[in-house]
Amino acid sequence: MSRPLRIALITDIHGNLPALESVLTHLASQSIDQIVQLGDAVSGPLWPAETLARLQALNAQHVLGNHDLAVLNPLMAALNPGDAHARKVLDEAQLAFIGTWPKSVLLPQGGFAFHACPRAIDLYLLEQANADQARLRPMAEISAELQDPSCMAARWIACGHSHVQRTVQLPDGRLVINAGSVGLQAYTEPATDLYPAHTHAMGSPHARYSVIEATDSSLTVTQHAVAYDWQAASHRAAAMGRADWARALLTGHGFA
- Nearest residue (beta carbon) to Fe ion: 161
The C-alpha atoms of residue 180 and residue 110 are separated, in whole angstroms, by: 21
The minimum distance between CB 80 and Fe ion, in angstroms, equals 11
The minimum distance between CB 168 and Fe ion, in angstroms, equals 18
Nearer to Fe ion, 117 or 142 (CB): 117
Task: Return the sign of the alpha-carbon dihedral for residues 82, 83, 84, 90.
Answer: positive
Q: Where in 27-86 is the site for Fe ion (CB under 5 A)?
A: 40, 65-66
Binding of residue 14 to Fe ion (CB under 5 A): no
Number of residues that bind Fe ion (CB under 5 A): 4
The minimum distance between CB 115 and Fe ion, in angstroms, equals 6
Rounded to a whole number of angstroms, the distance between the first and last alpha carbons of the chain is 50
Nearer to Fe ion, 159 or 219 (CB): 159
Nearer to Fe ion, 4 or 183 (CB): 183
In order of 116, 181, 254, the CA distances from 203 in angstroms are 21, 12, 8
Q: Which residues of 200-228 are buried (b: 16+ CB within 10 A; e: fewer)?
A: bbbeebbbbbbbbbbeeeebebebbebeb
Q: Where in 150-169 is the site for Fe ion (CB under 5 A)?
A: 161
Nearer to Fe ion, 40 or 145 (CB): 40
Nearer to Fe ion, 37 or 213 (CB): 37
Binding of residue 181 to Fe ion (CB under 5 A): no
The minimum distance between CB 65 and Fe ion, in angstroms, equals 5
Nearer to Fe ion, 83 or 213 (CB): 83
The minimum distance between CB 131 and Fe ion, in angstroms, equals 19
Contacts for 171-178 with beta carbons within 8 Å, 24 or more apart?
A: 171/139, 171/143, 172/143, 174/146, 175/219, 175/221, 176/125, 176/126, 176/142, 176/146, 177/9, 177/210, 177/212, 177/221, 178/125, 178/126
Contact footprint for Fe ion (CB under 5 A): 40, 65-66, 161
